[in-house]
Each structure stands twice: as C-alpha cells, then as structure tokens.
A and B are shown apart, each in its own frame.
Chain A
Amino acid sequence: MCLGVPGRVLEVRGQTALVDFFGIRRETRLDVVDQPVAPGDYILNHVGFAIRKIPEAEILDTLALYELLLREAEGDMMAADVRGEIGAAPPGGEVSDA
C-alpha cells in the first residue's frame, strides 16, 4: 500500500486529472501533488491522489518496474498491489473535446 503507481496525465479538470495508467483511464485527485501538472506530465498516484509529478528525465526508469510487474499473473501479490493502486482512482471516461 505504500507503493504508488505512475500514470500519464491526459487532461486536467480543476482538482482532478484524467490519467492513463498503462492503458487504463482513471481520475486522480490533484489536491496534494507537489507541483502543477499539465497534459503529458507523469504523476505518481497513491490511493487515488497524485503525490508527485515525476521529473521528465526520470520517467522511463520509473515506468520500468511497473511494466515488469504488470506482466505478472493475477495471483502475484506485488502486482496485485499495483493493480489495486490503479483501481483506487475512479474510472475516468473519455478525454473531452478541447
């Protein structure tokens, strides 16, 4: 539960963002994030809240662990925690027309 999960911001809607987590679209709250975020930024999500904007240079290294974990079977505990973190954010729906 202390392992957050990274995702790419698709759209910012006030205090929430529509975020793509490895192909799954979810809404994440922006109340406690450390910096303003914009579409294209990556954030670290924990229990439905973005807790950090991931610096651009660090994105690939950050994603690697999760890409590996999400290839694991359903029963794997660490992978289940990551999937749970993605599930913590409510479904996000479509990107609205700008």
Chain B
Amino acid sequence: MPELALGGGVRELRFRDPERARALSRALAGLCGRIGRTVSVMHVCGSHEQSIAKFGLRSILPKGLNVIMGPGCPVCVTDVPEVDEAVALALDGKIIATYGDMVRVPGTMKSLGDAQAEGARIEIIYSAAEAVELARDTTEEVVFFASGFETTAVATAAVVLADPPPNFSVLSAHKYIPPVMEIVAEMPGTRVEGFLAAGHAAAITGSDIFERFVEHHRIPVVVAGFEPLDILAGLVKLVELVRDGTPRVVNMFPRCVSPEGNRNAQARLWRVFRTVGGNWRGIAHVPNGNLRLRDEFAPVDARRRFEIDVRRLWNHAPATLTQACICGDIMAGIASPGGCPLFGSECTPDAPVGACMVSSEGTCKIWHQYGGHPDL
C-alpha cells in the first residue's frame, strides 16, 4: 500500500491524528485484501465529497475500494422543469429569492441568471428567514425557490409555520434522500455494496430511518461525519460489514446523530411537507423523492398560488453541449468526471454546462477544484 504523506507543512493539517489515519488506512487495506475483489461503496453528500477530495483520501484508499459520490448534491438534482418554473415566475415579475448556486443551474433554455440578465429580480439569500425578511420589506410578490435535502427543508418548514407575510410563497424543489438510495441501490450497473450516509442530514432524520432500507436491500449503511478521520473510520466499518455479509445500520457519528433524530425538526418538516414522486435531474423518477407543501399550506405554495406557464420557455431545441453532459451517469455512480469529454474544457466552474459543475456540492466542481485522485 502507498505510504501516507503526513509530513510537515500543509500535509500536517490533513489529519488531526496521523497515527490513527495510518491505522485506519492499514485496516482498510487489510479488509480489502481479504475480500479479494473490488468493492464499491457510495456516499450521498456533497460535503463528504469535498472532504474526500480536499484531503486526498482516495489516494490512500486500497485499490480494491471504490468510493463513489451518488446523488448527494441537491442543486444538481433539481430537475429542469423545476428551474423552468422559477424562471417563468421571475420573467413574470415575481422576485425570486434563492440559494446562490441555484442561479446558474440550467433550465430547458434559461437559468435564473439568464432571466436576471433580462431584467428579472433574483435575490441570493443564505437563509430561508432572509427570504421572509425580503417579503416583509416590499409589497411585491416574493417567491422563495427552495432547494436542499431534508436538513434544509426543515428551515423552510420553520418559516412557513412562523406566519410569513401574505406576499411570500415557496416554490419547493426540496428533495428527500432516503428514497433515492433505494433507486440507486437497484440501478443496473451501479453495484453499490454499502452506503455512507451524510451526518448532518441524519441529524434530522436519525439513523433508525435507514433500518428499513437495510432490511429490504441487504446493503449496510454507516452514518459518518465529515472530518477525514470520520470518513476513514466510516469506510472501515462499512467494508467490515460487507466482508462479514452482515448488513446493518451503524452510527459512527453519534456526536451529531442519534437513532431517533431531531423529533422537533421532523414534526415541523412533516407538518408542512409531504413526499411525492418526481424526477431527479439525470437520475430517474424517484417515488417519494420530492418534498411538496401540504394542501393546507396552499396559500404559501407558489405552484397553487400562480399560473406558472413554462411552455413559452420551450421555443428552441436544447443546446448540443447539454446533450453531451453526463452528469446523470456521474450522480448514479457509473461514470466519473474524468470520463466526460466536456470536463475541464467546455465545462468549467466559470462556464458550467451541467449542474454538477455549478454547485460546490457537485462532483464535477469539487474534482475541478481539488482533483479526484490527487498525487500527494
């Protein structure tokens, strides 16, 4: 196995405890050696990918272990028609408040950034509460184009429940992670043998939520934190479970995640939202994968409050570069950015073709900054 480069300078920052990193790396190599074939495991979190790429973890993983990023970037899986809805509302004169990365995600013909260039008012916000403040300060309609997984949807639920002003509404593009794990687990060609679940999303749902998944799919799930050592320790546990053929849920991040999760947040989340099936960009139709406002919140639901005419955005054929984009295969774990002919040439963070190059949680943008397999 390769020696860990844990010398002075910058590399000293890579691991808080180099001894432990070495021991974990050795344990992984031993486990993979005994399994004797390639094992693929998937994580579903942009922050995990950032940490893996930033700290160069792939360069110290054994050859027999393939760690893939799945659909863990909520911006990336926001579907084209959802962006079209936001663009249509923006061009219709509504103020669109949204998290920064959403502005550049391509719709059928236009992104919100394009709409802004045509005079639409797009406000970048960092918190759902800011979108509400924006509405309080104006008489115009403010539509919060809300993206993110359950962790972020909780904040949206909180502002919907906190009596927002009448000119505030939500266009929900929120997604729910557990159902997409089912889809990816069953995709032919992916052959994922274990999942590393994202720590902060699980802080809301709790680790118990994965029990049913493990029972149905006989694939282990390990909840892991974001520090390089957390991730290595999570991988060791996951590969152990694969080796032993004993699929179960193991919470390796108890400092953040409890078995039952944050009950208060769950109560608010499910009071405001229900799950419906819908397309995730590049992935598939995901039953129960989208979070939409319940009927009783219709007055706050932009989809019910406004006639959203997206057809007028569909005048031309889609650009050919977009058709060559393989974001979907990358998020399904059957291709990596290096296998995309556009990566780093026609598609860069400054001029993204696909959504995976737009968001700081997208595999392509992360690999573009840190490299996927850096030489240490």
Contact = CB atoms under 8 A, between A and B. Distances in A.
A77 B357 CA distance: 13
Contacts of A68: 13, 16
Contacts of B149: 2
A90 B262 contact: no
B127 A1 contact: no
Given A68-B16, A81-B47, A90-B130, A52 B256 contact: yes
Contacts of A48: 126-130, 155
Nearest to A78: B50
B319 interface: no
B158 A77 contact: no
B255 A55 contact: yes
Interface in A42-57: 44, 46-49, 51-52, 54-55
A32 B265 contact: yes
A1 B46 contact: yes
Interface string A73-98: 00011101100110111100000000
B129 A32 contact: no
Given A2-B201, A46-B200, A51-B203, A31 B227 contact: no
Contacts of B201: 2
A4 interface: yes
A81 to B, nearest CB: 6
B203 A44 contact: yes
Contacts of A47: 99, 126-128, 148, 152, 155
B349 to A, nearest CB: 9
Nearest to A64: B16
B303 interface: no
Nearest to B368: A77
A91 B263 CA distance: 28
B291 interface: no
Contact of B256 (A31, A49, A62, A88): A62
Given A55-B255, A71-B13, A77-B369, A49 B127 contact: yes
Interface in A18-42: 29, 31-34
Contact of A3 (B126, B226, B268): B226
A2 B225 CA distance: 11
A83 to B, nearest CB: 10
Interface of A: 1-4, 15, 29, 31-34, 44, 46-49, 51-52, 54-55, 58, 61-62, 64-65, 68, 71, 76-78, 80-81, 84-85, 87-90
Interface of B: 13, 16, 45-47, 50-51, 54, 72, 74-75, 99-101, 126-130, 148-149, 151-152, 154-155, 157-158, 161-162, 198, 200-201, 203-204, 225-227, 255-256, 262-265, 268, 359-361, 365-366, 369-370
